């Protein structure tokens, strides 16, 4: 009985040590990258077209200013940055109701200038060439690392990690065993990437 309890304690100690050595990284990200789903939110420099049914004189096509706003006839400045086209249309519609009877407003994105930057994948650390590359559907950690020329001779490939924004101010990290991916073809941690992800490969301690 004592030996059995001792074996349980040793197993728990090993498990805690493994968790500590992982640096707090989560093992597996969600099956569907969270940042890749949901309706597109307007960003600075995006071009938006505002149309008002039966009131063409109120229609405009303008870029979103650095302060995240656009100027709309009659109602003035309206917040667009960080909102969906439907949310902006609803806001303009509410404000226009003071001037136009039952306004019907549509907001259409005609040029997604901010999208390409926000959707980039960054690979940093002990790689041949740190890069910032556009996100593509189905892209994996291995695709991104290969685009960076692979790891260099100083890489601690067993301690790589993928960092993903999980909220406005929080970031979640996921363990990436590049040594197994590149050396053994073990794709267990070859996670699908999401727009905005950062992959970091640390250097070995000498």
Q: What is the 3-state secondary structure (H, E, C) of the chain?
A: CHHHHHHHHHHHHHHHHHHHHCCCCECCCCCCCHHHCCCCCCCCCCEEEEEECCCHHHCEEEECCCCCEEEECCCEEEECCCCCHHHHHHHHHHHHCCCCCCCCEEEEEEECCCHHHHCEEEEEECECCCEEEECCCCCEHHHHHHHCCCECCCECHHHEEEEEECCCCCEEEEEECHHHHHHHCCCCCCCECCCCCEEEECECCC
CB 60 within 8 A of CB 49: yes
- The reply to whether 197 and 126 lie within a common domain is yes
Query: At 202, which CATH number?
Result: 3.10.560.10
Residue ending a domain, choose from 88, 115, 142: 115
Q: Does 128 lie in the same domain as 106?
A: no
Q: Residues in the chain with pLDDT < 50? A: 2-23, 32-37
Domain boundary among 115, 136, 161: 115
Q: 83 and 128 in one domain?
A: no
Residue 178 located in a structural domain: yes
Q: Are residues 126 and 190 in the same domain?
A: yes
**Domains held by the chain: number:** 2
Residue 36 included in any domain: no
Q: Are residues 203 and 123 in the same domain?
A: yes
**Residues present in the chain in total:** 206
| Per-residue pLDDT, 195 | 87
Is residue 15 assigned to a domain? no
User: Is residue 132 located within the same domain as residue 202?
Assistant: yes
**Whether residue 155 sits in one domain with residue 204:** yes
The pLDDT score that the predictor gives to residue 12 is 43
CB 120 within 8 A of CB 135: yes
> What pLDDT does 9 receive?
41
Q: What is the pLDDT of residue 137?
A: 87
List Cβ neighbours of 169 (8 Å cut-off, separation of 6 or more): none
CB 163 within 8 A of CB 171: yes
Picking from 115, 149, 166, the residue at the C-terminal end of a domain is 115
Residue with token string 């519609």: 93
- 68 and 109 in a common domain: yes
- CATH code, 70: 3.30.1950.10
**Quick one: pLDDT at residue 11?**
46
> What is the extent of the structural domain holding 188?
119-206
Looking at residue 25, what is its pLDDT?
59
Task: Note the pLDDT tens digit of each residue in 108-128.
Answer: 999 888 777 778 899 999 999
Task: Determine, yes or no, domain membership for 37.
Answer: no
Q: Can you tell me the distance from the alpha carbon of 87 to that of 151, in angstroms, rounded to the nearest whole number?
A: 44
Please check whether residues 135 and 194 belong to one and the same domain: yes
């Amino acid at each position: 009985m004592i030996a059995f309890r001792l074996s349980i304690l040793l197993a728990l100690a090993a498990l805690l040590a493994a968790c500590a050595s992982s640096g707090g990284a989560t093992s597996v990200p969600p099956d569907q990258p969270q940042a890749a789903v949901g309706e597109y939110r307007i960003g600075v420099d995006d071009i938006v077209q505002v149309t008002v049914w039966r009131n063409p004189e109120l229609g405009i096509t303008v870029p979103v200013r650095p302060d995240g706003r656009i100027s709309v006839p009659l109602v003035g400045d309206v917040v667009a940055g960080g909102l969906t086209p439907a949310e902006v249309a609803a806001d303009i519609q509410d404000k226009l109701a003071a001037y136009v009877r039952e306004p019907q407003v549509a907001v259409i994105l005609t040029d997604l200038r901010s999208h390409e930057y926000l959707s980039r994948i960054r690979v940093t650390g002990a790689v041949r060439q740190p890069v910032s590359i556009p996100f593509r559907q189905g892209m994996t950690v291995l695709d991104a690392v290969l685009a960076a020329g692979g790891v260099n001779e100083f890489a601690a490939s067993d301690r790589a990690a993928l960092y993903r924004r999980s909220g406005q101010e929080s970031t979640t990290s996921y363990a990436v065993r590049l040594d197994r991916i590149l050396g053994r073809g073990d794709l267990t941690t070859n996670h699908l990437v999401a727009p905005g992800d950062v992959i970091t490969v640390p250097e070995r301690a000498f």
